[in-house]
Structure formats: structure tokens, C-alpha cells
Structure 1
């Protein structure tokens, strides 16, 4: 579930990144693209983790990347760098953060 959700979120972010780059907002666009796509990549890696600790580590990194993504989305919204409505992006990243946090905490409690 979280792997597909983070993948779909990354696809949506690509649309936003295109909009940002059309408005010559390359730095924020590149940072957002990097952090947002890293979420799903780390979730995918966690699924192939060599151990429980490896799984937790990758999920924790995904959670950190999600928080960074939320930062960039907030910055882009508050600076009015995009004409797109960002509330749905922010709602989705908040949900992803909650899911990842729960996964990490639950996994840590079962070590």
C-alpha cells in the first residue's frame, strides 16, 4: 500500500515540477523532485531489506524525505511559486508521513 501510494504521489509531483520549471523555479523544483521521489525509492528498498534493522532504516529515511518534501511544498505554496493548488499535495504528504511514522514505530517495537 505505502509503496504504491508513494509512487503515485511522485507521479503527481512531476506535474508540479514541470509547472515550477516552466516558471524558471529550478532550484525548488529540483529539490522537491529529489526528496519526493526518494520516498518511494526508499520504501521499495525497504521491501528488499536484508534484516529488520535494514527495513526500519530505509523506512526511517523515507519518513525523513517525506518531511523534507513537506517543507518544500510549504515553501513553494507560501512563496506563491506555482499557480497549482497545493493543498492536496500537502494533505497527501501529511498522510504519507503518518503512515511511515507508524510503520517505523511498530517495526521498532517488534525488534
Structure 2
């Protein structure tokens, strides 16, 4: 493994961690309603999961295992994106449109990175 790959991996892991923290900070301000609690709990889990599963992917036992773990990250990122769209569209939930839009942009970029990485890994099979 060369320094360039290590650096890219560390940068991606840092982005995933920062995304999880930012997402969870914004949902802290959501109302204590059924919808607010339900979507906040779901988004909290799905936004943290990619950072944790990315660590698992780095220790994959095979290329197939790597693809599987990266696929889990991708699914969780897509779930988070859908949740952020719900936040954005709900008048009662969405109190910081600029931050939610920033998070939606970031999660879209992360999704693109994971799609590309999975495609590259599949070519190795």
C-alpha cells in the first residue's frame, strides 16, 4: 500500500466522520414530535454507519468482502440522503435549510465516491 492510497483512505474516513457529526448536530435541534424523533433516530444511525462500515471494509478478507462492505456503506448513505430530503421538505423539521443543503451535497459526493470505488473493485474480480 502506498502513501497516496493511505492518504485517500484517511481523507475519505475523515469526511465520513465529519458528515456523521454534522448530520447528528443538525438533528439535535429537531422538535420532540413523533416525526422529529423517528426520522432523527433513523438518520442518526444511517449517517454514522458508513464511517464505521468503511473501517470494516478496509479490513476486508477478500475483494468480494470489500465490495459487500462498501455496498453497505452506499446503502446507508442513500438512506441518509432520503432522510435529509424528508428533513428539507418538512416545514416542522427543517430549521436550517442551508446546512441541510450542504449535507445533501456532501452525501451525494460521498455516494459518488462509493459507487466509483465499488465499480473499480468489481473490475478486479
Bucket of the pairwise TM-score, normalised by the shorter protein: over 0.9
Instruction: Mark the runs of 5 or more structure 2 residues left unpaired by the alignment.
Output: 1-10
Find the counterpart in structure 2 of residue 4 from structure 1.
14
CA distances 1:37-78 after superposition (whole Å, capped 9, x unpaired): 011111111001111111110001100100000000001110
Distance, in Å, in 2 between the alignment partners of 1:107 and 1:57 is 10
> If the length of structure 1 is used for normalisation, what is the TM-score?
0.94
Of the candidates 86, 102, 106, which is equivalent to residue 116 of structure 2? 102
Find the counterpart in structure 2 of residue 90 from structure 1.
104
Distance, in Å, in 2 between the alignment partners of 1:2 and 1:103 is 11
> If the length of structure 2 is used for normalisation, what is the TM-score?
0.84
Q: Which one is further off, 77-86 or 6-15? A: 77-86
TM-align CA RMSD: 0.9
Find the counterpart in structure 2 of residue 40 from structure 1.
51
Where does structure 1 differ by over 6 angstroms across 4 or more consecutive aligned residues?
none
CA contact (8 A) 1:45 1:58 kept: yes
**Number of paired residues?**
109
Greater Rg over alpha carbons, structure: 2
Of the candidates 66, 82, 85, which is equivalent to residue 71 of structure 1? 82
Distance, in Å, in 1 between the alignment partners of 2:94 and 2:28 is 10
CA contact (8 A) 1:36 1:66 kept: yes
